[in-house]
Chain A
């Protein structure tokens, strides 16, 4: 007679994890690799020195000084000097540059004669980040050039110095990105993507381990060991996983906020509570998937589909109010959405916990979800039919 009871199932579950390399990969290797990869990749904050080209068709002293100014900017690296628009466009198509700055023929001459030459710059918007940085640099350079010329024209007609400066920019609206003033990409992306990786792995491993019981015909034994109680069976089976996930989640938190030093303007206590509840919420959601599709492949497919879609639909980069409403509402069915919102409030912006209260409640709802589907899991564990 094999042992029964909570402890026996727990030990059995631990042994399953220890004996199968796939669990080591899923619990440790893959998530930890992703944590390291994402934060190390973007460790510079911003991809400065965007490769770009100058198309100087004028070749005058003025146009050369524009080139020098542009070349001195922090964000740009003038790697090519092109003779024509077509040449520059081809360089862009070949991927050597992300944009180019075009000074037309007779630029200096036209400018001094008041014939208003047009300066044009081109950015390859198929790569958003470098193109945006390039756009900003090009625009600043062009504006400075223009201001310099306006200044010398005004001086030449006798406008006093102290009047000129405010004339160049009479209204100045400064836009400040609070709490991430350097627009650090690691802070912006890692704080959402790293927990989302964790959510994906929790979904997959939970469904995988439950589905295995049915696939290998051990689910009846599991139920028997739990004296027929599905709650006891699931709790004891998933508890070892919960413990591992909690360790990983807390490591993730310290990895982000302590080791990498992402900003925490609120309290770490609430973030810790959030991460702990997040693990339970993800497991709850995964059990719920398994309850709807008590089939190894189907539940894993749903986990993978939603887990990967979460990276987009939880609105880490494209705001939810800009999505179609009928699509945007789906972000609210994902635990990661609440993790992200709590991170914004409690870590990035540091607002009072009062404003985040609803999102902690949402976690609790995810934890309660499995109870609606226990009957179906139990039924299928008793039937024990594997469909490939």
Chain B
């Protein structure tokens, strides 16, 4: 019994060392383990780093040409969101500016705008926004709402004093101030919104891609790693465990870099407890490794991983609920998203890192991750035991020879 246990430890150690050597000498896998987690988040963060959309161009068609209409345009131009690049004589000219991509909105002020304000009637103006990018439209909406409210409050104060001096109480200030506070991502920045989730997704995909490529490499050249069918092989469980420990060792630094230094560099919200975040991510890493080992079942050669797996990043991004919230998904898609470790990883990490939740508060995500880890590892064992191992043991180049016949 004791001899047996010792031999298991020996097997584990052998696999661990062998995998380490293989990874270090394989530039393809190193790209996934080192280059991707280090460079990719930086590029990605830089794209969105300006965070907010400022000064989107618009033109004005002012059919009123009064002091009030000019004041409206001045106020709009002064907002953070909008930038009045000029006046157009009429709508066709403004349309031409929009069609040739010089501006993204047209403000049309009708004749009589100023006169209506002075008369105490409601003065209307219309802003036509180009709707290809919702962030631009959102900016215009915020700007126009804020400006119409500010101008309205001013006019109201003037008027009320004129009509009914008794109502002075409400004209001296806001009757019922309304305050809104953004939680988590307090600047409403786009980078701070999307990046924490993307970081976890990058980690998830790095692990699956690397594991897939390692599997492909072995199936292509079993001789590389001593799988010669003559010597004893370490058991499937020990092989998986050894590989997992090896990959986790390599991943420690990239993970710390991803969850700590990237948010630090780009000033993303960092409200979470670092140790708890690492604890939270552990089952996700294990589940992703299990997914990678299962993926090995259909990877016949190293480079297939790109073709077969890269596009899933887009699917996983949407399944994680970052863009389209999970409560609004159809039951089927919600079920699919429940099966992806990245979903829970992204959700929990955002809550911990951005909203400052503790590990106890994300216990639902944490438990789900452990359950997924167990399921994927069990599935991975089956795939390794009955698909990958036999195909490796069948001898080298069985696939290659089949393929060269095809060509």
Shortest Cβ distance from residue A301 to the other chain B in the assembled complex, whole angstroms: 6
B contact residues around A312 at 8 Å (CB): 44, 47-48
Mostly, the A contact residues are helix
Stretch at the interface among B10-18, B172-180, B248-256, B258-266: B172-180
Given contacts A149-B175, A170-B117, A351-B99, contact A388 B333 (CB under 8 A): no
- Contact yes or no, A175 B127, CB < 8 A: yes
- Contact yes or no, A157 B151, CB < 8 A: no
- Contact yes or no, B306 A149, CB < 8 A: no
Closest to A79 in B: B327
- Contact yes or no, B178 A117, CB < 8 A: no
A311 an interface residue at 8 Å Cβ cutoff? yes
Inter-chain CA distance A20–B298, complex, in Å, is: 12
Inter-chain CA distance A127–B152, complex, in Å, is: 32
For B177-201 the 0/1 string (1 means CB < 8 A from A) is: 1111111111010101110100000
- Contact yes or no, B53 A319, CB < 8 A: yes
For A319-339 the 0/1 string (1 means CB < 8 A from B) is: 101111001000000000000
- Contact yes or no, B124 A174, CB < 8 A: yes
For A176, give its contact among B121, B128, B155, B318 (CB under 8 Å).
B128
Shortest Cβ distance from residue A16 to the other chain B in the assembled complex, whole angstroms: 7
Inter-chain CA distance A208–B99, complex, in Å, is: 40
- Contact yes or no, A170 B122, CB < 8 A: yes
For A48, give its contact among B148, B163, B328 (CB under 8 Å).
B328
Shortest Cβ distance from residue A275 to the other chain B in the assembled complex, whole angstroms: 18
A contact residues around B47 at 8 Å (CB): 309, 312-313, 318, 323, 327
Given contacts A44-B328, A166-B122, A216-B407, contact A154 B127 (CB under 8 A): no
B contact residues around A169 at 8 Å (CB): 122, 148, 152
A contact residues around B284 at 8 Å (CB): none
CB contacts under 8 Å to B, within A270-316, are 296-297, 300-301, 303-305, 307-309, 311-313, 315-316
- Contact yes or no, B406 A170, CB < 8 A: no
Inter-chain CA distance A132–B176, complex, in Å, is: 22
Inter-chain CA distance A346–B24, complex, in Å, is: 51
Stretch at the interface among A181-189, A248-256, A366-374: A181-189
Closest to A218 in B: B407
- Contact yes or no, A16 B406, CB < 8 A: yes
- Contact yes or no, B306 A301, CB < 8 A: yes
- Contact yes or no, A126 B196, CB < 8 A: yes
Shortest Cβ distance from residue A280 to the other chain B in the assembled complex, whole angstroms: 20
Shortest Cβ distance from residue B226 to the other chain A in the assembled complex, whole angstroms: 17
- Contact yes or no, B130 A157, CB < 8 A: no
A231 an interface residue at 8 Å Cβ cutoff? no
Stretch at the interface among B135-143, B232-240, B377-385, B386-394: B135-143
- Contact yes or no, A349 B130, CB < 8 A: yes
Inter-chain CA distance A183–B131, complex, in Å, is: 8
A contact residues around B140 at 8 Å (CB): 175
- Contact yes or no, B193 A125, CB < 8 A: yes
B315 an interface residue at 8 Å Cβ cutoff? yes
B302 an interface residue at 8 Å Cβ cutoff? yes
- Contact yes or no, B136 A319, CB < 8 A: yes
A contact residues around B126 at 8 Å (CB): 173-174, 176
B3 an interface residue at 8 Å Cβ cutoff? no
Shortest Cβ distance from residue A201 to the other chain B in the assembled complex, whole angstroms: 6
Stretch at the interface among A53-61, A140-148, A376-384: A140-148
B contact residues around A89 at 8 Å (CB): 183
A200 an interface residue at 8 Å Cβ cutoff? yes
- Contact yes or no, B328 A47, CB < 8 A: yes
B314 an interface residue at 8 Å Cβ cutoff? yes
For A126, give its contact among B31, B133, B193, B310 (CB under 8 Å).
B193
Shortest Cβ distance from residue A314 to the other chain B in the assembled complex, whole angstroms: 10
Closest to B95 in A: A351
A contact residues around B357 at 8 Å (CB): 93-94
For A297, give its contact among B177, B303, B318, B404 (CB under 8 Å).
B303
CB contacts under 8 Å to A, within B129-172, are 129-138, 140-141, 144-145, 147-148, 151-152, 155-156, 159-160, 163-164, 166-167, 169-170
Given contacts A157-B164, A176-B127, A352-B99, contact A37 B307 (CB under 8 A): no
Inter-chain CA distance A123–B129, complex, in Å, is: 25
Q: How large is the interface on A (under 10, 10 to 19, 20 to 34, 35 or more residues)?
A: 35 or more
Inter-chain CA distance A120–B18, complex, in Å, is: 60
A contact residues around B49 at 8 Å (CB): 324
B6 an interface residue at 8 Å Cβ cutoff? no
Closest to A98 in B: B325
B contact residues around A117 at 8 Å (CB): 176
For B63-107 the 0/1 string (1 means CB < 8 A from A) is: 000000000100000000000000000000000000111000001
Shortest Cβ distance from residue A28 to the other chain B in the assembled complex, whole angstroms: 13
- Contact yes or no, A129 B325, CB < 8 A: yes
Inter-chain CA distance A216–B173, complex, in Å, is: 79
Shortest Cβ distance from residue A1 to the other chain B in the assembled complex, whole angstroms: 17
A180 an interface residue at 8 Å Cβ cutoff? yes
Inter-chain CA distance A181–B350, complex, in Å, is: 31
Inter-chain CA distance A204–B188, complex, in Å, is: 35
B362 an interface residue at 8 Å Cβ cutoff? yes
A contact residues around B335 at 8 Å (CB): none
B125 an interface residue at 8 Å Cβ cutoff? yes
Shortest Cβ distance from residue B306 to the other chain A in the assembled complex, whole angstroms: 4
Which of A127, A197, A218 has the largest count of B CB atoms less than 10 A from its CB?
Answer: A127
Given contacts A173-B147, A324-B49, contact A93 B314 (CB under 8 A): no
Inter-chain CA distance A322–B47, complex, in Å, is: 9
A contact residues around B186 at 8 Å (CB): 125
B395 an interface residue at 8 Å Cβ cutoff? no
For A92, give its contact among B144, B160, B180, B183 (CB under 8 Å).
B183
Inter-chain CA distance A174–B138, complex, in Å, is: 13
Given contacts A183-B134, A307-B310, contact A388 B180 (CB under 8 A): no
- Contact yes or no, A93 B350, CB < 8 A: no
A158 an interface residue at 8 Å Cβ cutoff? yes
Since A167-B159, A178-B131 are in contact, a sample of 17 more A-B pairs with Cβ atoms closer than 8 Å, ordered by chain A residue number, is A38-B314, A38-B318, A93-B355, A118-B179, A124-B355, A139-B178, A153-B169, A169-B122, A171-B148, A196-B314, A208-B306, A216-B407, A305-B40, A309-B47, A318-B190, A348-B131, A351-B99
Pull 23 A–B residue pairs with CB atoms less than 8 Å apart, ordered by A: A26-B308, A31-B311, A33-B315, A34-B311, A116-B174, A119-B178, A123-B180, A125-B183, A125-B193, A130-B325, A143-B178, A165-B122, A167-B160, A170-B156, A173-B147, A176-B126, A178-B131, A179-B131, A204-B307, A218-B404, A301-B306, A315-B133, A318-B135
